[in-house]
Amino acid sequence: MLLRFEDDSPFAQGACPYLHQPVTAEETTNRILVTVKIEGVETQAVVDTGGVWLVCDPGIAEVLELDPEDGIECPPLQIRGDRVPGMLHRLRVTFVAEEGESLQLQGTAFVPESDPHQTWPLPTFLGFHGCLERIRFAVNPSTQMFYFGPANEAE
């Protein structure tokens, strides 16, 4: 059942199950991971309400054939204590609904620079600023469901 406001208007247009687990082998803290599509490429992403932008796994950027020349330069981003250089891109993010309707938004994505022969050690992150701030969202820990809808009714 999707969430509703007191006037019976929908809070959420879609919902999906989420995983609640560590995202790296070294971690012990559980994170909320939801399934999203970035320009059509499906991945699991960490809901990071304290983060900025969509931090896109460089492997996904490679699959999408993103050209660094098409990005916007930005200062290095502080990720887990490290200053990481990268570029900003505008990318379409789709929250994939298992119930209701999926939701698309344009997000600001930070794509870390990486050595082509090195695997990026972190997941994709959905940061609040530039990404999650564009949607309404809620979690229900008892059912492990993530609810989402547009932050602005005009979207």
Q: What residue segments make up the domains of the chain, in order of their start?
A: 19-150
**Residue ranges in the chain whose pLDDT is less than 50:** 155
Length of the chain: 155
Averaged pLDDT of the chain: 92
Rounded percentage of the chain residues whose pLDDT exceeds 70: 97
- pLDDT tens digits for 101-115? 999 999 999 999 977
Q: Which residue intervals of 34-134 are DSSP H helices?
A: 58-63
Best CA proximity match to 87, nearest among 55, 129, 122: 55
Q: What would the CATH number be for the domain defined by 19-150? A: 2.40.70.10
Q: In whole angstroms, what is the distance from residue 17 CA to residue 1 CA?
A: 13
